[in-house]
Amino acid sequence: MLLETEVARLKAHSEQLQQNLEDMVKNYDAQYEQCMTMINRNNDELNELRDANGRAVADFFDMSVKNEALEMRVLQERGVRELNVDLNYEFQIDQMKADTLEAMRKAHDNQQQCEQLIAHWQHRVSQMEHHVAMVQSATNEKVLSELVEHYMTQIDESNAKLIEMRKQKV
């Protein structure tokens, strides 16, 4: 009998241990799946970032090549222009005259635009001043009428009190 109870206890303990092991394995499996999901997601993001970096590097290289080509073109054009200017001093003087005339025309246009803008804003300011004066006048009239009404009410109350006092004395 003692042996049977010990066997039953050990069997129950063994089943409990087996259940605990199964629970631990399930828990570890779930954690493993979560980790693998995160790793896969991180790998996908890393691949996207690598692809984006690759595109950025390619774009940078393309822009660098285009920039160098443009710089060479600018230098070439500058050289041609300097050569032409050096060869033709009269052209340089004519160009300066044309640039001066253009600058004077632009300065005149800018002055006219400034004058028009100033006139426009002066008109706007005068409109706002007129509006403010009208609002102030209306506000003053309203405040005065409210004060008169308030004082009239006080006078009426005082008169009513005086009449009441006279009636009481009589």
pLDDT tens by residue, 53-102: 888 888 888 888 888 888 899 888 887 777 765 666 777 788 888 999 99
Q: What are phi and psi of 88, to 5 degrees?
A: -125, 85
In a domain, 31, yes or no: yes
In a domain, 17, yes or no: yes
In a domain, 166, yes or no: no
Which residue range forms the structural domain that includes residue 23? 1-87
pLDDT in tens, 105-145: 998 998 999 889 888 888 888 888 888 888 888 888 888 88
Torsion angle of C-alpha atoms 72, 75, 80, 83, degrees rounded to 10: -150
| Helix, strand, coil share (%) of the chain residues, nearest 5 | 100, 0, 0
- Number of structural domains the chain divides into: 1
User: What one-letter code names the amino acid at 170?
Assistant: V
Note the pTM of the prediction, 2 decimals: 0.34
In a domain, 10, yes or no: yes
Average pLDDT over the chain, rounded to an integer = 86
In a domain, 27, yes or no: yes
In a domain, 100, yes or no: no
In a domain, 108, yes or no: no
pLDDT at site 104: 92
